[in-house]
Amino acid sequence: MSLELNLRIAGVLLLLLAASHVFFPKELGWQEDLAKLTLLNRQIFLVHTGFIMLILVLFGVLSLGFAADLVAPSRLAAAVLGGLTLFWGLRLITQQFIYDRALWRGNRRNTILHILATLLWIYLTAVFGCGWWRQWNG
């Protein structure tokens, strides 16, 4: 599979991830948890979640709609791909070392989601990293 196709696939996956955030409040019981927060903290949480969704949409549109531009040699493409590699690489590290394993161990659904998220972060880091590597090494 070509890098351009993988960038487009990554874009679709990012758009699906953004759309999946619509289900998080119910699935994760946010209503009950957010009710315990002060108004300021509740609003910060909701605003940050909205901006995460926006970033995912923007990354998805960039990867899906501008894959050919990201593959074409340019300093801008190298910078964008380097930033995306760093972003998703740090997200992968966060998944493995920041989230407490007690959150998913012994819970089948959470274990499956943990594995799927890990695979997604690996894929995104690899695709953007491959693109970045090609930009710098021809």
Q: Say yes or no: 43 and 86 in one domain.
A: no
- 89-132, pLDDT tens digit by residue? 999 999 999 999 998 899 999 999 999 999 999 999 999 999 99
Q: Say yes or no: 51 and 3 in one domain.
A: yes
Q: Say yes or no: 67 and 6 in one domain.
A: yes
Share above pLDDT 90 across residues of the chain, in percent, rounded to a whole number: 96
CA distances from 115 to 42, 47, 80, 109, 123 (A): 29, 27, 27, 10, 12
pLDDT of residue 46: 96
> Does the pLDDT at position 31 exceed 90?
yes
Give the HSE-up count for residue 109: Cα atoms under 13 Å, Cβ half-sphere: 2
> Does the pLDDT at position 32 exceed 80?
yes
Q: How does the average pLDDT of the chain come out, rounded?
A: 96
Q: Say yes or no: 97 and 63 in one domain.
A: no
Q: Give the Cα separation of 124 and 36 in Å (integer).
A: 35
- Predicted confidence band at 52 (pLDDT cuts at 50, 70, 90)? very high
Domain of 48 in residue numbering reads as 1-71
pTM of the model as a whole: 0.93
Q: Say yes or no: 81 and 129 in one domain.
A: yes
Q: Say yes or no: 9 and 67 in one domain.
A: yes
Number of domains comprising the chain: 2
- Predicted confidence band at 48 (pLDDT cuts at 50, 70, 90)? very high
Domain end call among 54, 71, 88: 71
> Does the pLDDT at position 138 exceed 80?
no
